[in-house]
Structure 1
C-alpha cells in the first residue's frame, strides 16, 4: 500500500471517483458508509445506492445542470446502504469538465446523522410519528396534515435515518 492510498483510507469522509456515473475508485470509508467492501462496489453503477431508478435519473439531471454551470455542487439526500437500509448523506462533488460533467467526477460522502443519535424532532416529524403510532397509513396521515403521501414517506425515511431505525415499526418503537 502506498502513502496516497493510506491517506485516502484514513480520511474520516467517504471519497469516490466515478466515470459515467460508475464507481472507478473509492476509499474504505465510502465503502463502509454503505456497508460494502470496496471490491463489491468498484465498477458498479451508482444507481445501486439510490432508493429507485427514478431518484438516480432525477438527481443525475439536477446535478448535471449545476455542474454544467458551476463545475461543482452539493446536497443532502437519502441513499441506500446494503440490504436497502436508508442513510441520510451529504454529497459534495466536482467534475473535470462542466461540458461533460459525468465524464470524470470526484465526490465526498458524509453521513448527516450519526447512528445511535436521537435528535430532536420537528413538530411535523413528531406529528407523523404520533399518527404512525395510532396505526394510520401514509395516505391517512397526509390527509390529516394536508400534505402529499409522498411527503409523508420522505419524512418517514428521514426519521428512520435520524434515529437509526431499520423500518417503520422500529421507528415507532424508538420514539415515545
Structure 2
C-alpha cells in the first residue's frame, strides 16, 4: 500500500538538498503559504534567520545518515513573520548523502516563543533543545561539533539565564514553556 503526501493528515514534505520538492496542504498551512508557493523553494525561507538554517543543516547532516530517523525542536517562522516552536522528524533515503532525498514531518508545539527564549543566543537554544532531549554534554558536543567543555559552559550560562539550579530544572523550564 502506498500513500501520496496529499493523503497524509500531518504536515509532511519531501525535499532534495533542502529544497522543497513536494509537500501536503497541512505543511503549507502550518507556515501560512499556499502549497504552490513552497514547491521548489529552499527551506531557508521558513527559518527566522539564515544562520538557523545553516546550523540546523550541519546538525542534521551528521545525524541523518544511513537512513536513520532524526528529530529536533526549533523555532520556525510563518509567512506572516510569526515565530513558533516546531518538532521536526526526518529520514533520508540516501545513506551517502542525507540531503539528497529526505522526508520530513513537522509538528507545531504548544510552546510559546517567549522573550526569554528569544534573548538566548542561537547556540544556547540549540544546546537547550538537546539538553531537553536528555543528551549528555559529550553527546551534544559530538552532535554539534563543539568540545565537551564548551557545551558545559553553554549549559551553565543557560542555567544562570533561566534561574534553574541544575540541568534537570533547565530541561523542566524548557518543557514547561510548551
Give the distance between the partners of 1:91 and 1:48, measured in 2 at CA. 16
Give the distance between the partners of 1:90 and 1:25, measured in 2 at CA. 19
Alignment size in residue pairs: 126
1:137-176 to structure 2, matched below 5 A, reads 146-147=160-161
Structure 2: runs of 5+ lacking an equivalent: 121-158, 163-172
Report which stretch shifted further, 15-24 or 105-114. 105-114
The answer to whether the 8 A contact 1:16-1:107 is kept is yes
Structure 1: runs of 5+ lacking an equivalent: 120-124, 129-137, 140-144, 149-154, 163-176
Give the distance between the partners of 1:9 and 1:69, measured in 2 at CA. 26
SS in 1 for 2:27: helix
How far off is 1:88 after superposition? 1.1
Please tell me the root mean square deviation across aligned C-alpha atoms, in Å.
3.3
- Cα deviation 1:41-91 (Å, max 9, x = unaligned): 111000000111111011100011011256320111110111211121111
The answer to whether the 8 A contact 2:11-2:27 is kept is yes
In structure 2, relative to structure 1, the CA distance for the partners of 1:4 and 1:98 (3 Å cut) is closer
Match among 70, 84, 88 for residue 85 of structure 2: 88
1:1-176 to structure 2, matched below 5 A, reads 4-5=3-4, 8-68=5-65, 71-113=68-110, 146-147=160-161
The answer to whether the 8 A contact 1:75-1:91 is kept is yes
The answer to whether the 8 A contact 1:67-1:73 is kept is yes
In structure 2, relative to structure 1, the CA distance for the partners of 1:11 and 1:96 (3 Å cut) is closer
Partner of 2:151: none
In structure 2, relative to structure 1, the CA distance for the partners of 1:14 and 1:67 (3 Å cut) is same
How far off is 1:13 after superposition? 1.1
Tell me the TM-score normalised to structure 1 length.
Answer: 0.61
SS in 2 for 1:29: helix
- Cα deviation 1:22-50 (Å, max 9, x = unaligned): 00000000000000001111110000001
SS in 2 for 1:24: strand
